[in-house]
Structure 1
Amino acid sequence: MAHLSPALRHKARALAAKAAANSPEGQLTAGSAYELMLYKLAEDRRRLKQIQSVKQKIALKAEILPEYQDWIDGVLSAGKGAQDDVLTTLLVWCIDVGDYAQALRLAAYAITHALTLPDQYNRDIPTLLMDEFAEAALSGAMTPAIGRTILPEVMALTEGRDAPDQARAKLHKALAYALLDKSPIAADNVEEAAPAAIHLALPHLHQALALDSRVGVKKDIERLTCRLKKTTAPPAKRKA
């Protein structure tokens, strides 16, 4: 599908839009176009299962994803919110390959219409978003600069959604690190943290700790609080 002519790509998007538009919210997406996508997804998942290397799996997903773009565009333009296992699987793959902007587009649609992940995933979509985006930031797969933009969007999307406290705590921790441009916050680099960034990050660290006492931010809070005290302390008076 990645090499279709413009005319055929237009037709593919139109078929996707028709299938999505004809499938009401709360029901399964139906139609031959969706069945074709399910068949393709099953074949691609079989290819991925044959690979042991995580790095190679990610490379293959990056190669495969453009082949689904017409389906994505069609569903997002005309979909009424019917359950779509293709779309929700692609949401996970987009995070895996670092296409965070596309992942957020799919996530917004999925959360708005209360879509669920396929059976092989053991989490709901809000929990998956918090876990996977936070892990991408904390592992270094997502740069702090991108995290400062993307992670607040994930927070906004998942606000008020039921999810484990540990997942939400991890997301707050990841955003705090992104704001500080530090991961982790070590004794030998905390002195480099700017006071303005610390003021932004500390509330997220406190929130993370309130949600999960084992999230691992107690030392961070202590170091950053001490750093702030040093920067705001009045200069010592000289003796006459």
Structure 2
Amino acid sequence: MAMSPAKRHFLRVTAAQEAASTAADQPMAGSGAYELQMAQLHQHHQQLKGIQSTQGKEELKAKILPDYAPYVAGVLASGLGAQDEVIATIMVWRLDGGDYQGGLEIAAYVLKHNITMPPDRFSRKVPCLVAEEVAEAALKAARAGNVFDIGVVAEADRLTAAHDMPDEVRAKVKLAIGLLAAGMVDEKEPKPDDLQCLEVAQHFIPRAIELHERCGGKKALERVEKLIKKHAEQKPS
């Protein structure tokens, strides 16, 4: 059942007030809006545990995410960075559901305030999780020749740049940016900005290979270097 506008407004305002009065080194536990959302989160976890299909889980998450939007908006607007299981979980669910902009909006807050993931359900730390979720989705799209917003991956890279994570994960991010940039170039239909895209790819793909030699970028780099050379040969002297 859809939440009424009045209830959404009340939840957002209440969440903002409670988040603004809870210090960064304290948990949100005990506040009314948080406990309400935690109770709902528990119910939804139970529903998700009863679904075996990954697609089915993603469909349910897409359906229930709006229930948390007012709370998230309130916390992001006024929060001081208190430990918050709801915020951390909804960040992941948004990324799982393909709402990368929404997920990264929460990730910026979570990373800024060092909010941790619930250890009983998530083994990866926040920077690694955010980077890998976005990078793997982007790589899947790039390798299938599908469209994926390169700006989303660049934002994930920016947000996690100063944080520690395995080199293999960092390599996925760099490779994703490089492959998406290279994928913008159509050899049959040259465009004015082709060289710029190729130069971006030429920067990021070698960095990915440097971080993880078996990341799968070597053939892509060969194509990029071939196209750059071709572009230089065609340039009027």
TM-score by length of 1: 0.87
Partner SS for 2:67: helix
Are the equivalent residues in 1 in contact too, given 2:179–2:220 (CA < 8 A)? no
Name the amino acid aligned to 1:173. Answer: L
Name the amino acid aligned to 1:15. Answer: T
1:133 aligned residue? 134
2:113 aligned residue? 113
Are the equivalent residues in 1 in contact too, given 2:209–2:217 (CA < 8 A)? yes
Q: How far apart are the structure 1 equivalents of 2:2 and 2:84? A: 21
Are the equivalent residues in 2 in contact too, given 1:65–1:90 (CA < 8 A)? yes
Name the amino acid aligned to 1:22. Answer: S
Question: CA 1:234–1:43 in structure 2 vs 1: closer, same or farther (change >3 Å)?
Answer: closer
Give the drift of 1:180.
Answer: 1.9
Q: CA RMSD in A?
A: 2.4
Are the equivalent residues in 2 in contact too, given 1:20–1:29 (CA < 8 A)? yes
- Map residues 141-220 of structure 1 onto 2, 5 A cutoff: 146-181=148-183, 194-220=194-220
Q: How far apart are the structure 1 equivalents of 2:181 and 2:224? A: 13
Q: How far apart are the structure 1 equivalents of 2:132 and 2:55? A: 19
Question: CA 1:224–1:22 in structure 2 vs 1: closer, same or farther (change >3 Å)?
Answer: same
Are the equivalent residues in 2 in contact too, given 1:147–1:175 (CA < 8 A)? no
> If you compute each CA radius of gyration, which structure gives the higher value, 1 or 2?
1
2:11 aligned with 1:18: no
Name the amino acid aligned to 2:54. Answer: V
Question: CA 1:173–1:40 in structure 2 vs 1: closer, same or farther (change >3 Å)?
Answer: same
Give the drift of 1:234.
Answer: 6.8
Unaligned runs of 5+ in 1: 236-240
2:91 aligned residue? 91
Question: CA 1:143–1:2 in structure 2 vs 1: closer, same or farther (change >3 Å)?
Answer: farther
Offset from partner CA, 1:78-116 (integer Å, 9 cap, x none): 111001011110000001111111111101100110111
Q: How far apart are the structure 1 equivalents of 2:145 and 2:67? A: 27
Give the drift of 1:138.
Answer: 1.3
Are the equivalent residues in 2 in contact too, given 1:144–1:177 (CA < 8 A)? no
Name the amino acid aligned to 2:25. Answer: G
2:65 aligned with 1:65: yes
Question: CA 1:99–1:131 in structure 2 vs 1: closer, same or farther (change >3 Å)?
Answer: same
Give the drift of 1:233.
Answer: 3.0
Are the equivalent residues in 2 in contact too, given 1:144–1:179 (CA < 8 A)? no
Are the equivalent residues in 2 in contact too, given 1:172–1:204 (CA < 8 A)? yes
- Map residues 70-85 of structure 1 onto 2, 5 A cutoff: 70-85=70-85
Give the drift of 1:132.
Answer: 0.4
Are the equivalent residues in 2 in contact too, given 1:209–1:217 (CA < 8 A)? yes
Name the amino acid aligned to 1:45. Answer: H
**Seq. identity, %:** 38
TM-score by length of 2: 0.88
Are the equivalent residues in 1 in contact too, given 2:182–2:224 (CA < 8 A)? no
Give the drift of 1:190.
Answer: 6.9
Q: How far apart are the structure 2 equivalents of 1:13 and 1:232? A: 56
Deviates more, 1:204-213 or 1:194-203: 194-203
Deviates more, 1:222-231 or 1:35-44: 222-231
Alignment length, in residue pairs?
A: 229
Offset from partner CA, 1:147-196 (integer Å, 9 cap, x none): 222111111111111111111110011111111227xx9xxx87778433
Are the equivalent residues in 2 in contact too, given 1:137–1:143 (CA < 8 A)? no
Question: CA 1:59–1:217 in structure 2 vs 1: closer, same or farther (change >3 Å)?
Answer: same
Are the equivalent residues in 1 in contact too, given 2:28–2:34 (CA < 8 A)? yes
Give the drift of 1:219.
Answer: 1.9
